Every structure is written in C-alpha cells, then in structure tokens.
C-alpha cells in the first residue's frame, strides 16, 4: 500500500474518533466568554476534523506527484470524503446544531453522484470532479467548522455565519449535483 492510500485510510480511521468527541459526554470543563461557549470535546473534534479534511488534498497531491494513483486510491479517497462529511453532519444533527434537511440534501447528492460514477465505471469511463464539486467540498467543510466551533468569532457580533454557510453548502451541493448529472447525462443514455 502506497503512502497516499495510507493517508486516505488514516482519514477514514479519524472519523469515529471525531464522532466520539462530538457525541460522548466527557466531563471536560466548558470555555465561556460572554455569549460564546465551547467544550473541550468540540475543540478536540474540530482540530481532528481539520487535520482529516486537510489530508484530502495531501493524499491527492502525493498520489499525482509521485505517480502513485491506484484503483484502491480511486475507491478509498471519495469514500473517505463522504464518510468524514456525512458522519460529522449526522453528529451535528444529533447535537441540534444543523437542520436535518440540509444534511439529507448533502448526503443524498453524494449517494446520487456515487451511483452515477459507478454506472460510468461499468461502462469503462472515469468521471472527474469539476470545479463545482471542489467548491461544494470547500463550502461544506467551512460550514462544518463554523458549526463545530459554535459560530466563533461571528457569535460576538451576532452574525449567524454558521447558518448562512450551512444554507450555502446545501445550495451549492444541490447545484453541483444537478450540474454533474447534466454534464454526464450520456452515462445514463439520456438525450
């Protein structure tokens, strides 16, 4: 197993650790400053999430620059991304920090695009991510981080950046999924 795939596997193994710190009640003290508060559990979870999310670019860069692109990597990389984002979003619903409908849109898009990619693979073609898919990922990660850190520093000025970012993530996710299907409708033999 090459280095890029090991990094991708590490991202997958970090997912349950993040969920543990989000959902298991560990009696750490809470940090409170005026109207803002955050638990140490959340701080640990967000730091691990940021590390895990940053490995997505790292493993791809290593695989391409060292010519380590493999079929295993092509399978594991999108799986790791989907596991990371989905698990944390479901945890955030459980915590009451994001509306379930936003998470349903995001996860549904991921299932739909994965299905389309599988159909393309059966036909012998590979469908690359486009700029909207990359924007989608960036906005989703930004929204997740804002939700994990309780809207810091925007909470001090009363601006709901975490809510705005969540809605924007849902909108861009829907658009990127629609765009992906329109650009690849030939895979489904739709004219």
Torsion 128-131-132-138 (CA) sign: positive
Q: Which helix (H) or strand (E) holds 21?
A: helix 3-23
> What is the reported pLDDT for 97?
95
The token pair at 39 is 């638990």
CB atoms within 10 A of CB 190: 9
> What is the reported pLDDT for 60?
80
pTM of the model: 0.89
> What is the reported pLDDT for 117?
84
For residue 1, the number of C-alpha atoms closer than 13 Å in the C-beta half-sphere is 11
> What is the reported pLDDT for 88?
97
In this prediction, the residues of the chain whose per-residue pLDDT falls under 70 are 190-191
Closest listed residue to residue 21, CA positions, set 79, 92, 80, 83 = 92
> What is the reported pLDDT for 190?
67
> What is the reported pLDDT for 191?
56
The token pair at 181 is 């299907």
Structural domains of the chain, ranges and CATH numbers in brackets: 3-188 (1.20.120.1760)
CB atoms within 10 A of CB 103: 21
């Amino acid at each position: 197993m090459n280095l890029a795939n090991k990094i991708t596997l590490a991202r997958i193994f970090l997912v349950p650790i993040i969920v543990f710190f989000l959902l298991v009640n560990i009696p750490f003290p809470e940090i409170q400053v005026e109207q803002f508060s955050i638990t140490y559990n959340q701080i640990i979870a967000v730091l691990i999430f940021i590390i895990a999310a940053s490995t997505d670019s790292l493993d791809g860069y290593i695989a391409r620059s060292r010519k380590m692109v493999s079929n295993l990597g092509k399978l594991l990389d999108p799986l790791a991304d989907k596991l990371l984002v989905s698990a944390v979003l479901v945890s955030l619903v459980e915590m009451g920090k994001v509306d379930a409908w936003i998470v349903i849109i995001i996860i549904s898009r991921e299932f739909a695009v994965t299905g389309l990619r599988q159909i393309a693979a059966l036909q012998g073609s590979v469908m690359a991510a486009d700029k909207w898919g990359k924007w989608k990922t960036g906005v989703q990660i930004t929204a997740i981080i804002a939700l994990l850190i309780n809207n810091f520093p925007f909470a001090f000025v009363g601006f709901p950046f975490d809510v705005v970012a969540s809605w924007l993530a849902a909108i861009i996710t829907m658009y990127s999924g629609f765009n992906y299907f329109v650009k690849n409708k030939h895979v489904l033999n739709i004219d």
